[in-house]
Amino acid sequence: MTAKVKAACHAAEAGIPVVITSGFTADGILRVLQGQRVGTLFHRDAHLWYSVQVKEHGACKMAVSARDASRVLQGLSSVDRRKILLDVADALEANEERIRKENEIDVYIAKETRISEALISRLMLKPGKISDLAKSLRVLADINDPIGQVVKRTEISDGLILEKTTCPLGVLLIIFESRPDALVQIASLAIRSGNGLLLKGGKEAARSNAVLHKVIVEALPKSVGPELIGLVTSRDEIPDLLKLDDVIDLVIPRGSNKLVSEIKESTKIPVLGHADGVCHVYVDKAADLDMAKRIVLDAKTDYPAVCNAMETLLVHEALMKTGGLNELILALETAGVRLYGGTKASDLLKLPKAISFHHEYGSMACTVEIVKDVLEAINHIHEHGSAHTDCIVTEDRDVADVFLCRVDSAAVFHNASTRFCDGARFGLGAEVGISTSRIHARGPVGVEGLLTTRWLLRGTGQVVNGDHGITYTHKDCPLNYRNETSKNLDVANGGSSVVPSSHTDLANGCDLKT
């Protein structure tokens, strides 16, 4: 084999392409001649060939098409982009029965193949879910247009105005497991933020994802085209997509720790998301016990399969003496929650010992541990948590402030269930996922998390010329001055925009000329 590789290298340097493929497959040579990517290619320009080949192949061609369609979407007026979301909402409701039947088949197959209860719970589109999704799309349609918003305006010099404006990221690749409702939320956010989108769902939701994708793209206007949202159906295409760092701008994996880790290790494209949802509720000695029971039960039992459900209950040691801890344990056990104990709690409460403090049950089970004070609770969260969502229940405002200030998680709550950590509940309309990253977005990621910024400079013929003959003022200008192109019109003015030739802000002297 060494001799073969050396010979291939010599030929490659001379400009002759060589493919070495396995001799154990009878049709290896035939497959190479048919253009299939098998074996190892040797050629001095192989990296250039691969780039072109990848972009013209399957899902990779889909990514390029999504980018082109997103640029068309960005060029539409705010009114037109809003109408797309309303049309998709109507289409979902009109096809509810069709969607429900396909989902029922997925659920049946999942049960037959003995998929975990947690995954089946996420897979199921429960009654009213389609209506809820349609409602969230209409809420999203009614928010202010996120594209083209001026976040900063500066007078660089007399008659030279610089604007920092919001714009889409470009093309998103979302890889998710189970929940088909996530497909709708992600697609709606991509449309509202003007991004192209590639979706790869889990095989357990194949029928549900396929019908939802079909319903959504059929509702898109012909000017944009169905290519805006691509559905990747094979895992084999993911490695090639992860190489397209010049086409795909952001990858968001929604799934297991293993999935997220594999994605991060396989791509140069920025990755946004979280691996685990190990959320804590700490019940302080100064907690209102009735409130604590409500919050703990809701955080664990409202929807135990999702990432914002409580996985560990931390209790102040003083509640052992007052009986408060026993009341919390009884409430959870009565609700059908299986309890596991930490190092202290397993001995004191005679509970089965938890395998790990960093464990996401995703079911009606949780870990209980006893701590001496709020600082020990914070240290426990930092050592064993996932920086997702953590909560304190207490009537002591000073203790609450310490918890809120020091817990380094994406979402930190006082006297409220961890289940509130959700894009729709935060008023974002929907979420593409929850991020525990610290760069670009953190917590529930809605429309704003799918935007970046760009600079627009409007002048009157100025040149640098070595900075001679120009005076820099760098003066802040008002943001309420409307200076948008005819393609980004204000909904309120009925589709017409009158842009004055100049506008002078008397307070700061900025002369905004167009």
215 pLDDT exceeds 50? yes
Residues with Cβ within 8 Å of 222's Cβ and at least 6 positions away in sequence, in order, are none
206 pLDDT exceeds 90? yes
485 pLDDT exceeds 50? no
Domain boundaries, the chain: 2-44, 61-148+165-265, 279-436
pLDDT at 43: 66
238 three-class SS: helix
176: buried, middle or exposed (CB in 10 Å: 19+, 13-18, 0-12)?
buried
> Amino acid identity of 120?
I
10 pLDDT exceeds 70? yes
**pLDDT class of 35 with cuts at 50, 70, 90:** low
CATH 3.30.750.24 assigned to 279-436: no
The whole-number average pLDDT for the span 438-461 is 92
Neighbours of 247 (CB within 10 A): 20
The whole-number average pLDDT for the span 169-182 is 91
pLDDT in tens, 219-235: 999 999 999 999 998 88
Name which of 321, 319, 310, 413 is nearest 371 in CA terms: 319
Task: Please answer whether residues 387 and 409 qualify as being in contact, where contact means their C-beta atoms are separated by less than 8 angstroms.
Answer: yes
Rounded Cα–Cα distance for residues 268 and 161 (Å) = 36
Task: Please answer whether residues 233 and 213 qualify as being in contact, where contact means their C-beta atoms are separated by less than 8 angstroms.
Answer: no
124 three-class SS: coil
214 pLDDT exceeds 70? yes
pLDDT in tens, 309-353: 999 999 999 999 999 999 999 999 999 999 999 999 999 999 999
Helix (H), strand (E) at residue 150: strand 150-157
Our measurement of the distance from residue 498's CA atom to the centroid of its chain's CA atoms, rounded to an integer in Å, reads 37
Task: Annotate 203-223 with b (16+ C-beta within 10 A) or e (fewer).
Answer: ebbbbbbbbbbbbbbebbeee
Rounded Cα–Cα distance for residues 163 and 263 (Å) = 36
Neighbours of 498 (CB within 10 A): 6
The whole-number average pLDDT for the span 385-390 is 96
Rounded Cα–Cα distance for residues 256 and 65 (Å) = 29
Bridge-partner residues for 76, per DSSP? Answer: none
Task: Please answer whether residues 371 and 315 qualify as being in contact, where contact means their C-beta atoms are separated by less than 8 angstroms.
Answer: yes
The whole-number average pLDDT for the span 21-39 is 66
Bridge-partner residues for 174, per DSSP? Answer: 199, 252
40 pLDDT exceeds 80? no
The whole-number average pLDDT for the span 426-438 is 86
- How many helical (H) and strand (E) elements, i.e. helices and strands, does the chain have? 18, 20
pLDDT at 259: 81
503 pLDDT exceeds 50? no
Name which of 21, 153, 105, 146 is nearest 447 in CA terms: 146
154 pLDDT exceeds 60? yes
CATH fold of 61-148+165-265:
Aldehyde Dehydrogenase; Chain A, domain 1 (3.40.605)
Count the alpha carbons within 13 Å of 317 in the hemisphere toward its beta carbon.
Answer: 9
Task: Please answer whether residues 312 and 278 qualify as being in contact, where contact means their C-beta atoms are separated by less than 8 angstroms.
Answer: yes
Rounded Cα–Cα distance for residues 492 and 79 (Å) = 10
Higher per-residue confidence, 485 vs 405: 405
The chain-wide mean pLDDT, for the chain, equals: 87
Distances (CA, A) of 430 to 137, 212, 214, 310, 371: 8, 16, 20, 21, 36
12: buried, middle or exposed (CB in 10 Å: 19+, 13-18, 0-12)?
middle
